[in-house]
Amino acid sequence: AGGICIAQSLKIPHEHKPSDFDKIIRQLLDTRYARTVVLFASDEDIRGILNASKRADQVGHFLWIGSDSWGSKNSPIHQLEDAAVGAITILPKRATISGFDAYFMSRTLENNRRNVWFAEYWEENFNCKLMSSSKKDDSSRKCTGQERIGVDSKYEQEGKVQFVIDAVYAMAHALHNMQRDLCPDVSGICPEMELAGGKKLLKYIRSVSFNGSAGTSVTFNRNGDAPGRYDLFQYQRSNGTGSGYRAVGQWTETLQLNMEELRWPRGEQDVPVSVCSLPCRAGQRKKVVKGMPCCWHCEPCDGYQFQADEFSCKLCAYNMRPGANRTSCRPIPIIKLEWHSPWAVIPVFLAMLGIIATIFVMATFVRYNDTPIVRASGRELSYVLLTGIFLCYIITFLMIAKPDVGVCSFRRVFLGLGMCISYAALLTKTNRIYRIFEQGKKSVTAPRLISPTSQLAIAFSLISVQLLGVLVWFGVDPPNTVVDFDEQRTIDPELARGVLKCDITDLQIICSLGYSILLMVTCTVYAIKTRGVPENFNEAKPIGFTMYTTCIVWLAFIPIFFGTAQSAEKLYIQTSTLTVSMNLSASVALGLLYVPKVYVIIFHPELNVQKRKRSFKAVVTAATMSSRLSHKAADRPNGEAKTELCENLEPNSESRGSGRPATLMFITRMV
């Protein structure tokens, strides 16, 4: 009440020892910031508390407030003045009743008739012994009976005399009013009054109102308390005037305190603060100690919590984080992969080099479109393959660009399309080679669908599967952007970031690339099957090396991509890994399949000439005989077989001078 809260309520044992007071001081220090101690204790107990504070070296720490039992007496603080400095005490306002002094000082052993304790008081006041049954020891002198109060002893009117007189008058007024109400026609006590009981008498006592012995009004409130009238004192020590109690205010219905007159221990200038717990800082909640409503522990709102009110913390919304002082929430910053980031610079640099190289190769092929090397490499599928390689490089820029609906749409289309085009063209080539030589083992008839038009049709049919899958993806889940607040939701909210990205999951990325990977694996299988074909006839071996290297690249990509799924750097690592893997795949195909051809076209044009034309029958026969001779040579432990292929320019022409058809001859030389 009144803004006052009790941190602790301690009792002084009835039979106490010095250790009991030491324990009380230790308990008071548990709530160290609650410095004010209100004492309702006897003089002896007050001395015990002050002594214990000195033993604990806490002089000046506690601010004592003494009840009227302390008042302005010197006995509780004798030789403990330093521990009592700053203590504020109260004493009921009182007036000296002059008639009482005259009456009491005239009392003697002879004229006392009704005070049964007067003889005991006489012995204590004059330090003498009246009778053998007295409690005074035998060494005390005998009382003569001629002693006089105030003459032979020091006398000072007891401060509560006024209140005793007023209490007697209050009882008298209550009985008078009660008799008047219950016995209006009877003088004295009537039966109704005898049976009234204490509760009814208390009601009359609380209802009295009269002027007391000091001329002040005597009334009681509904709780039975008389109006409080107190003088306030503070025990002060001054070098000039010495130590003593100094009046600093009073209470008469309201507090009147002279702040300029107050002096505090330890020389404090401002009014000392006494609280059980210091106020919590911003961003901290109060955890109230059970049974002590004004005492609490301050607990910080941690993680993504903010201080909702004085006693609770609440979690910020998923897209928010607590402010600097944790009293509110603020939006989490949104980031994306920036062009200047090292995770983007390297893939972009590789992609730019690849695009320049691809354009250069394509321009070279267009410029020398009708030369033997370009024609022999299968011009139609070469341009398809170069287009796929170009798209593999282009996807790097789409993966790093700021996500929006348009960018996300292009990502879905081109993410797997470049690889699909590349490996569809390579698969068509390797499949053609495989079918030609497999057919040659059975007959000299050329297999179906090996013409350039057929090859393009096969390649585009394979590519259409990827495009169909993308169209279905668009229909089922339209492209959109999302902000992922979980990816970089760090323990420290200050480091938390929302990641702006396309609404494409890791599984969807793998599914989009899955068809291309299937084409790549199938192409690798055909490359392995055609590895024994003589390199003079086709690109089987360069394609094989390309596919082996590409498989290694993507085998390294998969664990890196999925292994970083829980990393805070997931956006950067996965994007960089994906784009670098696609750049490397395109670069491997470009380097192994086209760089040697471009080198010959530009630097050795003398090699870019028409060679002897081979019929399908000649090609098949050569491949079959080469395979057989290789097996025979392997059966000769001490020799090596070397095969030389000789062909006429026109397989169907007649040999000069012989009139016989030209034949394909193999000369095996034993070394």
**The pairing of beta strand 320-322 with beta strand 329-331:** antiparallel
CA dist list (Å): 512 to 347, 349, 405, 555, 588: 20, 25, 18, 17, 21
Q: 70 — phi, psi (to 5°)?
A: -90, -55
Q: Say which residue, 167 or 98, is predicted with more confidence.
A: 167
Residue type, 151: V
Q: CB of 88 within 8 A of CB of 64?
A: yes
CA dist list (Å): 404 to 130, 337, 508: 112, 13, 18
CA dist list (Å): 418 to 474, 509, 561: 18, 14, 19
On whether residue 357 sits in a domain, the answer given is yes
Most confident of 262-271, 562-571, 585-594: 585-594
Write the CB contacts of 114 (distance below 8 Å, at least 6 apart in sequence).
Answer: none
202 φψ region: left (φ > 0), alpha (ψ -120 to 50), beta (else) = alpha
Residues 183 and 68 reside in one and the same domain: no
The 10s digit of each residue's pLDDT in 457-490 is 988 999 999 999 999 999 999 999 999 888 888 8
Residue 212 CA to residue 216 CA, distance in Å, equals 5
Give the pair of three-digit tokens for residue 139: 């060494």
The residue segments making up the domain with residue 35 are 18-95+228-267
On whether residue 404 sits in a domain, the answer given is yes
Residues 574 and 436 reside in one and the same domain: yes
Report the chain's mean pLDDT, rounded to a whole number.
Answer: 82
3-class state of residue 529 by DSSP: helix
pLDDT at 587: 92
The number of distinct structural domains making up the chain is 5
Residues 289 and 351 reside in one and the same domain: no
Residues 256 and 381 reside in one and the same domain: no
Q: Say which residue, 233 or 538, is predicted with more confidence.
A: 233
Residue 73 CA to residue 233 CA, distance in Å, equals 11
Residue 448 CA to residue 436 CA, distance in Å, equals 9
On whether residue 237 sits in a domain, the answer given is yes
On whether residue 126 sits in a domain, the answer given is no
Tally Cβ neighbours within 10 Å of residue 338.
Answer: 12
Asked which of 6-20, 329-343, 624-638 is least confident by mean pLDDT, the reply is 624-638
Residues 451 and 306 reside in one and the same domain: no
The 10s digit of each residue's pLDDT in 141-169 is 888 888 899 888 888 888 788 889 999 99
Write the CB contacts of 668 (distance below 8 Å, at least 6 apart in sequence).
Answer: 629, 632, 633, 641, 642, 643
Residues 385 and 412 reside in one and the same domain: yes
CA dist list (Å): 345 to 19, 167, 256: 76, 97, 78
Residue 151 CA to residue 623 CA, distance in Å, equals 151
pLDDT at 624 over 80: no
Residue 208 CA to residue 373 CA, distance in Å, equals 130
Would you say how long the chain is, in residues? 671
With a pLDDT cut of 90, the percent of the chain lying above it is 30
Residues 457 and 577 reside in one and the same domain: yes
Q: Which CATH number is 300's domain given?
A: 2.10.50.30
Query: Shortest CA distance to 381 belongs to which of 468, 447, 457?
Result: 457
The beta-carbon contacts of 643-647 under 8 Å, at least 24 apart in sequence, are 643/667, 643/668, 644/669, 645/534, 645/536, 647/612, 647/614, 647/618
Residue 395 CA to residue 583 CA, distance in Å, equals 9
On whether residue 194 sits in a domain, the answer given is yes
Residues 307 and 455 reside in one and the same domain: no
On whether residue 512 sits in a domain, the answer given is yes
Q: Which CATH number is 45's domain given?
A: 3.40.50.2300
The model's pTM is 0.59
On whether residue 494 sits in a domain, the answer given is yes
Q: CB of 292 within 8 A of CB of 7?
A: yes
End-to-end CA distance of the chain: 118
On whether residue 46 sits in a domain, the answer given is yes
Q: 248 — phi, psi (to 5°)?
A: -125, 0
Residues 535 and 599 reside in one and the same domain: yes
Residues 205 and 262 reside in one and the same domain: no
Residues 485 and 534 reside in one and the same domain: yes
Write the CB contacts of 93 (distance below 8 Å, at least 6 apart in sequence).
Answer: 229, 230, 231, 250, 252
Residues 32 and 171 reside in one and the same domain: no
Give the pair of three-digit tokens for residue 560: 């890196």
The 10s digit of each residue's pLDDT in 400-424 is 999 999 999 999 999 889 889 998 9
Residue 303 CA to residue 321 CA, distance in Å, equals 9
Residue 530 CA to residue 627 CA, distance in Å, equals 12
Residue 639 DSSP label: -
The 10s digit of each residue's pLDDT in 215-262 is 888 899 888 888 888 999 999 987 666 788 999 999 887 889 999 888
pLDDT band at 611 (very low <50, low <70, confident <90, very high): low
Q: CB of 420 within 8 A of CB of 515?
A: yes
Residue 123 CA to residue 104 CA, distance in Å, equals 16
Query: Shortest CA distance to 561 belongs to which of 572, 552, 551, 549?
Result: 572
Query: Shortest CA distance to 457 belongs to which of 428, 489, 422, 430?
Result: 428
